[in-house]
Amino acid sequence: MSFSEFLPTAKGAAQLAGEVLRSWAERFTITEKSPANLVTEADIAAQAAIYDFISKRYPDHNFLGEEGLNESHPNSTFRWVIDPLDGTSNYAHRFPYYAVSIGLECDGELVCGVIYDPTRDELFWTVKGDGAWLNDSRLSTSRNLTLDKAMLMASLPVAVRAHHPAVNRFLRAVGQAQTVQRSGSAALNLAYIAAGRLDGFWSTSLLPWDMAAGVLLVREAGGVVTQLDGGTFRLERPSLLAANGESLHREMVSMLS
Ligand code: IPD
Ligand code: CA
Ligand code: CA
């Protein structure tokens, strides 16, 4: 079965959500779900637009979305995994590094994904077996093979404190990689690895909607994705280590785990 038939729907939904984010940009209000964990009307409205767009075409599919969306149809093997706005803190501060992320699973396997950055009109997309793409250009990961040549990115937990193990890990990497950054959008970090703009990324505090589309993008661009200790990646677990290829991946596992 080719999964490319789902791509126009995924792209259309992501672009529509991008419009919604733009339309709220000058008038949103911010609510804290928990300390430093933000949500705005834009998150909610973008998810509603995505759900409406996809469910009209595929009413029997399952849905999981960050803003309280969890719909199960026991007879369907498909599940859409949606983050309507990955990088809400950035959006709320008008820092232009955030994205819409939509992944599709079939029988628990990632088969299609799109990540849309409305600030740059960049649409990253992938279908299992068909490669990773940015707009009309095929993507492949970078060739920086060692830590001393690598630009790495980390996601730290929301409201993280200085003594947290994730901060220790970050500091360890600062001493070894060429550059280490924290950006605020896990989805866009993964898209950037696929695009060769970033060499590696890790986190131990992610949720399925942060990762679904981006993991397939990285793999289809030639990269490697596992848990932090090198174990098999699982969407339902918070641990992720993504790298441009085997060599850097090996160095990152031994540095971080
Ligand atoms: C967040 C971003 C961030 C990561 C957080 C996520 P949100 O997603 O992906 O990079 O560090 O753990 O919650 O809340 O902006 O959708
Ligand atoms: Ca997110
Ligand atoms: Ca979100």
**The length of the chain, given as a count of residues:** 257
Mean pLDDT within 80-96? 97
Which of 85, 108, 138 is where one domain is finished?
Answer: 138
Please indicate, yes or no, whether residues 9 and 132 belong to a single structural domain of this protein.
Answer: yes
Work out the mean pLDDT of the chain and round it to a whole number.
96
Kindly report the pTM of this predicted structure.
0.97
Please indicate, yes or no, whether residues 107 and 199 belong to a single structural domain of this protein.
Answer: no
Q: Say if residue 214's pLDDT is above 80.
A: yes
Please indicate, yes or no, whether residues 103 and 8 belong to a single structural domain of this protein.
Answer: yes
Mean pLDDT within 167-190? 96
Phi, psi (rounded to 5 degrees) for 156 = -100, 155
Q: Say if residue 2's pLDDT is above 90.
A: no
155 lines ligand 1 (CB under 6 A): yes
In which band, very low, low, confident or very high, does the pLDDT at 187 lie, cut at 50, 70 and 90?
very high
Q: Which pLDDT score, from 0 to 100, does residue 158 have?
A: 87
62 lines ligand 1 (CB under 6 A): no
The continuous run of DSSP H or E covering 101 comes out as strand 99-106
Spatial CB neighbours of 154, under 8 Å, sequence gap ≥ 6? 166, 169, 170, 173, 180, 181, 182, 201, 202, 203
Q: Which two tokens stand for residue 229?
A: 């200790």
User: Which residues face 241 on adjacent strands?
Assistant: 202, 226
In which band, very low, low, confident or very high, does the pLDDT at 26 lie, cut at 50, 70 and 90?
confident
Strand 224-226 vs strand 240-243: parallel, antiparallel, or unpaired? antiparallel
Ligand (nearest to CA of 188): 1
Which of 106, 138, 170 is where one domain is finished?
Answer: 138
Give how many domains the chain has, as a whole number. Answer: 2
Q: Which pLDDT score, from 0 to 100, does residue 36 have?
A: 86
Q: Which pLDDT score, from 0 to 100, does residue 159 have?
A: 84
Please indicate, yes or no, whether residues 16 and 117 belong to a single structural domain of this protein.
Answer: yes
Please indicate, yes or no, whether residues 130 and 157 belong to a single structural domain of this protein.
Answer: no
Closest atom of ligand 1 to 182 CA is 10
Q: Which residue has the higher pLDDT, 257 or 188?
A: 188
Between the CA of 128 and the centroid of ligand 2 the distance, in Å, is 22
Please indicate, yes or no, whether residues 196 and 234 belong to a single structural domain of this protein.
Answer: yes
- Residues of the domain holding 234: 147-256
208 lines ligand 1 (CB under 6 A): no
> How far is it, in rounded angstroms, from Cα 71 to Cα 203?
27
Which of 121, 138, 155 is where one domain is finished?
Answer: 138
Ligand (nearest to CA of 90): 1
> How far is it, in rounded angstroms, from Cα 228 to Cα 15?
32
Per-residue pLDDT of 138-175, as tens digits, reads 999 999 999 999 999 999 988 889 999 999 999 999 98
Closest atom of ligand 1 to 156 CA is 11
Please indicate, yes or no, whether residues 115 and 200 belong to a single structural domain of this protein.
Answer: no
CATH number at residue 223: 3.40.190.80
43 lines ligand 1 (CB under 6 A): no
Closest atom of ligand 1 to 88 CA is 15
Please indicate, yes or no, whether residues 131 and 217 belong to a single structural domain of this protein.
Answer: no
Between the CA of 37 and the centroid of ligand 1 the distance, in Å, is 9
Q: Are 103 and 112 in contact (CB under 8 A)?
A: yes
Q: Are 223 and 139 in contact (CB under 8 A)?
A: no
186 lines ligand 1 (CB under 6 A): yes
